[in-house]
């Protein structure tokens, strides 16, 4: 049966997720993904010129799933609150599966990855009260990526996976952001507490970076 371009792309993505889940990032080759998805190399590179492009797609897709999950709850959040709710839920779900944790640790070792924001300019605009400029933008993106990478690697290496430890990780990250953008720390604490309770209530939701499954 003839498959549309959308179906072909989705087949590549689903097979890649299953292979990444089982074997990790480095041990999964493009040729393996092509074989599992019954596609040719030229078809793969049409959608994803490099394996790293597929990786970026998966993280952006996962972040969007988290955003959509929050949006469907109609919580009437401010932009900074919405971001903190989303990232808290993002981490709670990501760190609930050890296979995904191992995959994420591999990805964190790739220095060129920028997995944290789909639109960092919008986030900076929201957090800074529309006072951001190009210098602040560059400073924030570079510094924040480095901070998140380091704190996440330390978190993974600690072996902790409980919700309270994830909340502590979030507090460490956003305390730095609060100092950068002059956000009141008491207000930040309220946002983190509300986001934490929300994420804990929704720990079992089927929102995932990767999905285990057969590639046969």
pLDDT of residue 216: 47
Domain that holds residue 67: 51-201
Which residues, including other chains, have CB under 8 Å from residue 3's CB and lie 6 or more apart? 11
Judge whether 163 lies within some domain: yes
pTM for this model (two decimals)? 0.88
Contact 152, 166 (CB under 8 A): no
Judge whether 32 lies within some domain: no
Contact 75, 154 (CB under 8 A): no
Judge whether 165 lies within some domain: yes
**Confidence band for 24, pLDDT divided at 50, 70 and 90:** very high
- Helix or strand (DSSP H, E) at 151: helix 134-158
Average of per-residue pLDDT across 147-160: 91
What are 4's two structure tokens? 């549309």
Judge whether 12 lies within some domain: no
Judge whether 149 lies within some domain: yes
**Confidence band for 47, pLDDT divided at 50, 70 and 90:** very high
What span, in angstroms and rounded, lies between the C-alpha atoms of 129 and 91?
26
**Confidence band for 111, pLDDT divided at 50, 70 and 90:** low
C-beta neighbour count of 170 within 10 angstroms: 23
Judge whether 7 lies within some domain: no
Judge whether 145 lies within some domain: yes
Judge whether 45 lies within some domain: no
Lowest mean pLDDT: which of 3-12, 80-89, 99-108?
3-12
Using the predicted structure, report yes or no on whether residue 32 has a pLDDT greater than 50: yes
Who wins on pLDDT, 116 or 48? Answer: 48
Counting the structural domains of the chain, the total is 1
């Amino acid at each position: 049966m003839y498959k549309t371009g959308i179906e072909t792309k989705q087949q590549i993505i689903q097979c890649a997720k299953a292979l990444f889940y089982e074997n990790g990032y480095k041990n999964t080759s493009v040729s393996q993904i092509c074989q599992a998805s019954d596609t040719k190399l030229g078809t793969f590179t049409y959608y994803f010129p490099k394996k790293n492009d597929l990786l970026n797609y998966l993280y952006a897709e996962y972040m969007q799933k988290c955003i959509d999950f929050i949006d469907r709850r109609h919580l009437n959040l401010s932009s900074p609150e919405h971001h903190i709710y989303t990232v808290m839920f993002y981490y709670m779900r990501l760190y609930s599966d050890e296979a995904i944790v191992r995959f994420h640790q591999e990805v964190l070792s790739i220095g060129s990855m920028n997995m944290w924001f789909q639109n960092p300019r919008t986030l900076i605009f929201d957090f800074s009260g529309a006072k951001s400029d190009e210098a602040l933008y560059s400073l924030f993106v570079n510094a924040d990526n480095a901070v998140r990478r380091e704190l996440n690697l330390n978190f993974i290496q600690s072996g902790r996976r409980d919700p309270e430890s994830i909340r502590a990780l979030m507090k460490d990250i956003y305390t730095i952001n609060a100092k950068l953008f002059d956000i009141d720390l008491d207000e930040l604490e309220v946002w983190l507490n509300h986001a934490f309770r929300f994420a804990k209530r929704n720990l079992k939701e089927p929102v995932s970076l990767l999905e285990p499954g057969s590639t046969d």
